[in-house]
């Protein structure tokens, strides 16, 4: 195992994980190809079937085992690949013993429950006598599956395991609203202080869920996310949950841009302000632009002059336009300012543009 988001995987890290699965299985396949085997059993994982946050390399290795089992069966050779769920660490130890409380809570939210040793052995016997070359041996919690289904987090492959009721509608609170339109409508009818409080509750509830806390009161809203126990995987999970709940397009760097629950709730409050408040906030800016437009009318000189004021003004206006449009990508190439004539402000503008900071 070498858990990491896909973006941080390197060739070496990927190879180290695949070696234990892919190389070992291929060597065993080649070494026994001509033997009269009764069984050829591969231990795979549900990660290769359902995916697992931060385990792209591990999932790929296990998917290979499943594919090898199917290929062997197609060639008339014995093969069974068992995609295991996780075992109870207190009984079985093994890989499950390395899971943190946050990892176990994440698995529980997907509907995967730990198996006892007796359950695992019984499932192994069943799998070995199953006609299909690839089988899943796991313990699923149907209550957790239903909860995941209502929040939109249940993989499609597991939808058939539950029956959803169209009559069950949980109370619409900040904690469980997952429909962005419902959330926006609810917030629009709240005074600003209550709106801020509702969004803070929303953030705390999702933080508590991601970190495996039973109560959102365990979340200190002024404490930094890293101090609360977040890592790159839980950061992305929180982003995904809040994105689903609010309908906003949020960056994967969310907890680094807004480093405490209080800061993050404040950001969501700004993004989810009712339209009338947004218009009221823009109105003073429009009046300022009208004054600026009148002032610009007096700049009739067709060239910059030795101080470069017109170029500097144009650069500042362009930067403001990018912000208003929400565009973080500057136009191609830096502003047309000769480097030898640029002052300090212009040089910083050029650097910001080249680095994509404006």
Q: Is 171 strand, coil or helix?
A: coil
289 located within any domain: no
Q: Are residues 47 and 142 in the same domain?
A: yes
Q: What is the pLDDT of residues 55-65, one digit of tens each?
A: 788 889 999 99
Average the pLDDT over 190-196 and give the result. Answer: 88
Instruction: Using the predicted structure, report yes or no on whether residue 300 has a pLDDT greater than 60.
Output: no
166 located within any domain: no
Q: Are residues 244 and 314 in the same domain?
A: no
The tokens describing 334, both together, are: 């830096």
pLDDT the model gives residue 177? 47
CATH code assigned at 206: 1.10.1200.10
Q: Please, what is the average pLDDT of the chain?
A: 79
Number of domains in the chain: 3
pLDDT the model gives residue 240? 86
pLDDT the model gives residue 305? 57
Q: Are 211 and 234 in contact (CB under 8 A)?
A: yes
Comparing 11-15, 23-27, 145-149, 169-173, which segment has the lowest mean pLDDT?
Answer: 169-173
Instruction: Using the predicted structure, report yes or no on whether residue 313 has a pLDDT greater than 80.
Output: no
Domain that holds residue 196: 180-271
If one compares 301 and 160, the residue with the highest pLDDT of the two is: 160
Q: What is the pLDDT of residues 35-50, one digit of tens each?
A: 999 999 999 999 888 8
The tokens describing 205, both together, are: 């509830």
The tokens describing 47, both together, are: 């990660």
pLDDT the model gives residue 190? 86
Q: Are residues 155 and 190 in the same domain?
A: no
pLDDT the model gives residue 50? 84
Q: Are residues 117 and 90 in the same domain?
A: yes
pLDDT the model gives residue 137? 94
Q: Are residues 148 and 220 in the same domain?
A: no
170 located within any domain: no
| CA-based end-to-end distance of the chain | 39
The tokens describing 162, both together, are: 């539950």
Longest distance between any two alpha carbons in the chain, whole Å: 94
167 located within any domain: no
pLDDT the model gives residue 282? 59
Instruction: Using the predicted structure, report yes or no on whether residue 76 has a pLDDT greater than 80.
Output: yes
If one compares 182 and 276, the residue with the highest pLDDT of the two is: 182
225 located within any domain: yes
The tokens describing 65, both together, are: 């085992």
pLDDT the model gives residue 173? 41
Average the pLDDT over 20-30 and give the result. Answer: 94
pLDDT the model gives residue 136? 94
Q: Is 112 strand, coil or helix?
A: strand
Q: Are residues 114 and 195 in the same domain?
A: no
Q: What is the pLDDT of residues 101-160, one digit of tens each?
A: 777 777 777 788 888 899 999 999 999 999 999 999 998 888 888 887 876 777 777 888
pLDDT the model gives residue 175? 45
156 located within any domain: yes
Q: Are residues 155 and 185 in the same domain?
A: no
CATH code assigned at 79: 3.40.50.720
Question: Nearest 5°: phi and psi at 115?
Answer: -95, 140
29 located within any domain: yes
Average the pLDDT over 282-300 and give the result. Answer: 70
Q: Are residues 89 and 209 in the same domain?
A: no
If one compares 92 and 319, the residue with the highest pLDDT of the two is: 319
293 located within any domain: no
Looking at 161, 193, 218, the residue that finishes a domain is 161
pLDDT the model gives residue 113? 86
Q: Are residues 211 and 303 in the same domain?
A: no
Average the pLDDT over 315-333 and give the result. Answer: 63
Q: Are residues 190 and 313 in the same domain?
A: no
Q: Are residues 73 and 215 in the same domain?
A: no
pTM here is 0.59
Comparing 81-85, 138-142, 288-292, which segment has the lowest mean pLDDT?
Answer: 288-292
pLDDT above 70 coverage of the chain, percent: 73
Q: Are residues 214 and 153 in the same domain?
A: no
């Amino acid at each position: 195992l070498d858990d990491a988001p896909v973006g941080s995987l390197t060739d070496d890290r990927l190879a180290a994980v695949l070696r234990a699965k892919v190389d070992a299985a291929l060597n065993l396949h080649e070494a026994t190809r001509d033997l009269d085997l009764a069984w050829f059993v591969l231990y795979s994982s549900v990660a290769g079937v359902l995916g697992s946050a931060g385990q792209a390399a591990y999932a790929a290795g296990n998917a290979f085992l499943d594919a090898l089992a199917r290929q062997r069966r197609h060639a008339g050779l014995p093969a069974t690949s068992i995609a295991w769920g996780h075992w109870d660490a207190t009984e079985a130890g093994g890989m499950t013993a390395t899971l943190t409380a946050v990892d176990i809570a994440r698995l529980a939210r997907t509907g995967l429950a730990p198996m006892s040793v007796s359950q695992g052995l019984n499932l192994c016997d069943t799998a070995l006598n199953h006609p299909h070359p690839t089988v899943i041996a796991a313990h699923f919690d149907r209550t957790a599956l239903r909860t995941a289904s209502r929040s939109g987090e249940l993989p499609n492959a597991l939808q058939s395991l539950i029956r959803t009721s169209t009559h069950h509608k949980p109370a619409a609170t900040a904690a469980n609203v997952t429909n962005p339109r419902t959330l926006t409508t609810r917030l629009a009818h709240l005074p600003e202080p209550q709106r801020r409080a509702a969004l803070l509750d929303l953030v705390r509830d999702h933080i508590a869920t991601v970190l495996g806390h039973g109560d959102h009161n365990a979340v200190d809203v002024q404490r930094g996310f890293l101090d609360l126990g977040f890592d790159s995987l839980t950061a992305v999970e929180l982003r995904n949950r809040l994105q689903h709940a609010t309908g906003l397009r949020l960056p994967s760097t969310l907890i680094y841009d807004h480093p405490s629950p209080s800061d993050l709730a404040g950001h969501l409050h700004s993004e989810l302000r009712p339209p009338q408040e947004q218009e009221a906030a823009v109105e003073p800016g429009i009046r300022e632009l009208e004054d600026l437009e009148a002032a610009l009318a007096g700049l009739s000189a067709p060239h910059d002059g030795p101080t470069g004021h017109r170029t500097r003004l144009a650069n500042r206006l362009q930067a403001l336009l990018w912000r208003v449009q929400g565009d973080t990508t500057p136009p191609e190439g830096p502003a047309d300012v000769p480097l030898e004539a640029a002052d300090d402000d212009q040089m910083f503008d050029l650097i910001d543009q080249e680095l994509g900071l404006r």
